Structure 1
Amino acid sequence: MKKMVFLLCLFSLNFGFAQNETLFDEATELYNNGEYSKAIENYKQILENGQHSASLYFNLGNSYYKQNAIGPSIYYYEKALLLSPNNEEIKNNLRFAENMRLDAIEEMPKTELSKLYSAVIGMFTFDQWAYLAVALVFLFVMAYMAYYFLGTANQKRAAFISGIFALVLGVLSILMAYLNFQSFKNNDPAIVFSKEVNVNAEPNNNSAPVFTLHEGTKVNVLEELDNWKRIRIADGQTGWLEAENVRKIKDF
């Protein structure tokens, strides 16, 4: 009976993958034929089936970009970039989409040390840093074993140095994974989907507007209260807007 259940689960899994692959291929063909709305329907069906990937979000971003839908295109490019942070093609298309925005917000200046820190921990996602750490620890164990089994002094010396080097890099990778995860957890980005929205000083409609944002602008959600979100924009300004005006990027 257990074997039957396992086979049924395996069949369902394979069927799901095959279905998603068919939907993806159909969507790509629709996109190439200029049928962007139908391509989007297929891509979203894959998401509803529980599968997501950088390429899927990237293609969704491209489809919306072709329709001049600023908010959704930037939103899906940003999601793709979360899963593949070093992908230059995603970054390039995101820059094109961002050029369509009305808001030109200057970021708060960063020190060179802060830029270097962000660049280093952002080389990989926190799970990629963790996988690298596991691989390096495995190399350390192999070098440790080789130290005892190799015969000559030069071979032992090489194994010892290689093991220490792998261990140090492994520890650094664990540290990078932790720092990247903390940064990921403390950062809650979202994209404005409304054509235009007022950001208020307080979480109510009677509060005075502080500034106005337009579709496609990226914000960071600081806190939530009922159907309101307190956000911060790149230049450091903060305020409240109704939750329906933005969509969080990390809502996988």
Structure 2
Amino acid sequence: MEVHKSIKAPGITIQVDPLPARPANFSGGVGRFNISATLDKNDVKAGDPINIRVVVGGIGNLKLLKQPVLNLPKDFDQYDAKITDKTKLTQNGVEGNMVYDFLAVPRNQGKYTIPSVEFTYYDTKTNAYRTIKTQPFTLTVEQGDGSDGSSSANYSNADKDIHALKLGKSKLCDIDDMFYGSFGYWTSLMVPLIAFIGLLIAFRRRAIENADIVKMRSNKANKIATKRLKKARTLMLARKQGEFYDEVLRALWGYVSYKLNMPVEQLSRENIQDKLLAHSVDADTIEKFTQALDECEFERYAPGDPAGNMNKTFDSAMTAIMEIENAIKAARKQGKKTSARQGDYTFGVVLLLIFMGFSLSASAVTKQNADTEYTKGNYQQAIKDYEDLLKNGVSPEVYYNLGNAYYRTDNITKAVLAYERAHLLSPGDEDINFNLQFARSKTIDKITPVSEMFFVTWYKALVNFTSVDNWAKTGILSIILALVLVLVYLFAPQLLLRKVGFFGGILFFVVFLLSSLFAYQQKQILVNRTGAIIVAPTVNVKKTPSRQSADQFVIHEGTRVDITDRSMDGWRGIHLADGRDGWIETKQLEEI
């Protein structure tokens, strides 16, 4: 059963006191205010537009203020101001900023002073009228090219909106948990180095073997001895006794000459015995060889059956050569087994390092639900989902999408903060950089950075071309290619390939050094973070860390500053890109 009741709130009596006699330049403002101004250019050409931004901020009747008066030199054409309302209703009343953008065009060259902009209001704290003013500006106007710059004074971007979401999965990790400097990184550097050393040893051994004339003669000895013994057998069957014994002697002496790399003039029984002992041939085998020599010379003149004597000599020569060959091969195999064991150990170490350094990350957290809420237009829910994801780790893609969601809710300050954090993690991402600049263009303060040498700007752009881990991976790939090209230079047979290996190796080694340097510098930026975003609507920057200190200048929400001093509790020393310094309360900023 429904019951209808009429209710009535009690009335409130408000006493409105009249303001004291108003000065002629009274703005109509009642409350507590501050004023600031910025000039987008200090040097222009005649005919080019300039933008003077005047910001009145504070607490009071901001929406009812009269537009500040900008008194420009007579050589300037001035256009109507663009007014942007950045106020909001809080428990203190109407709070925020009113932004006035004045567009002007200087017509003649020269040096001009743009005077201060005055603002008179009634201060409710002191119950008195107060006049505040901005700092004056000095503008240098150079001779123009005759074109009318005012017609092109359009500050809209070619892209008129932020770039779209980054869809798909995203890996979350701790901000200090990076591949560069990790165990996996050092393992990835050591494995190619160890493999390079192993390949260098193997290729060098092969090259030495190919260039070793002694070894080539040794390998050829058996073939020559076999060829001559075949000829001796043919002579034996033809019963050519004299030629047979000569050929057997040539086979024996030639065999040891090639096998032991002994010139003909050094061939003697004593030298042969010493050489064979040095090649680990046992004494019995050496004795059989010398007996074969003696038997060959003796049987030539021995009485009896010539065929039987030749057959006996042939068998003795064959046996002696075969046993020497087997003894030398056995000694070589023993040496190779030792080397192989060392090689197997090295290979095992490499495999161990590979498996120790190999890891897979299966902790990929999906952001599909948050992306879905964003595409449906439920931006507040998307913000909550993205922030919940970021409690488990950081991700440039999630911060980027969070910035988009904040931008859609017109929270430019939070959007800039999210984009700055995404930029810190992925400085080379084009979408992040565009949206960051786009959001900055919506903030109140237009800070003109201090000019720097062009090569410094280029170097910073190169360092920020990609992330710290991508630079680390580029360095690893470069050192691998450099080591491969070094091997090409050392062992390639063609001169052209050796030149490619030499210069390519140097090039990729330089790339490795630069990549490592850039990765190190980016890691230092991540570890020693100094950036912060102003989150209070209006901030009076103090000269010293005290509320009673004199005001230096005024900055507004969304402006980026760098923290220079954390030593005072509740205060932070800050530095702006245009060179200004001061102190603000910790609660007025949020670190990136």
TM-score, normalised on structure 1? 0.83
Match 2:509 to one of 167, 176, 188: 167
Structure 1's 55 and 38: CA in aligned 2 closer, same or farther, altered over 3 A?
same
Q: What SS is found at the alignment partner of 2:584?
A: strand
Gaps spanning 5+ residues in structure 1: where? 1-12
Specify the structure having the higher radius of gyration (Cα): 2
Q: What SS is found at the alignment partner of 1:207?
A: coil
The 5 A counterparts of 1:120-131 are: 120-131=462-473
- Is the CA contact 2:428–2:467 (under 8 Å) kept in the aligned structure 1? no
TM-score, normalised on structure 2? 0.37
Match 2:378 to one of 35, 52, 55: 35
Distance 1:85 1:184 in 2: 11
Structure 1's 223 and 130: CA in aligned 2 closer, same or farther, altered over 3 A?
same
- Displacement of 1:182: 5.2
1:99 aligned onto 2:441: yes
Q: What SS is found at the alignment partner of 2:565?
A: strand
- Displacement of 1:245: 1.2
Distance 1:188 1:37 in 2: 29
The aligned counterpart of 1:216 is: 558
The 5 A counterparts of 1:15-34 are: 17=364, 20-21=365-366, 24-34=367-377
**Which is strand-richer, 1 or 2?**
2
Percent of aligned pairs with the same residue? 33
Distance 2:504 2:438 in 1: 45
Q: Deviations over 1:173-211 (max 9, x none)?
A: 233334445566676111111111221111121212211
1:202 aligned onto 2:202: no
Alignment RMSD (CA, Å): 2.3
Distance 2:576 2:569 in 1: 21
The 5 A counterparts of 1:1-252 are: 17=364, 20-21=365-366, 24-50=367-393, 52-181=394-523, 188-224=530-566, 225-249=568-592
Structure 1's 27 and 111: CA in aligned 2 closer, same or farther, altered over 3 A?
same
**Which is helix-richer, 1 or 2?**
1
Structure with greater contact order relative to length (CA < 8 Å, sep ≥ 6) = 1
Gaps spanning 5+ residues in structure 2: where? 1-360
The aligned counterpart of 1:8 is: none
Q: Deviations over 1:115-171 (max 9, x none)?
A: 222222222334433332222111111222334453333323322322222112222
Q: What SS is found at the alignment partner of 2:437?
A: helix
- Is the CA contact 2:403–2:414 (under 8 Å) kept in the aligned structure 1? yes
Q: What SS is found at the alignment partner of 1:239?
A: strand
Q: What SS is found at the alignment partner of 2:552?
A: strand
- Tell me which amino acid in the other structure corresponds to 2:392: N
Q: Which moved more, 1:98-107 or 1:235-244?
A: 98-107
- Is the CA contact 2:467–2:522 (under 8 Å) kept in the aligned structure 1? yes
Structure 1's 70 and 140: CA in aligned 2 closer, same or farther, altered over 3 A?
same
Q: Which moved more, 1:230-239 or 1:138-147?
A: 138-147
Paired residues, number:
232
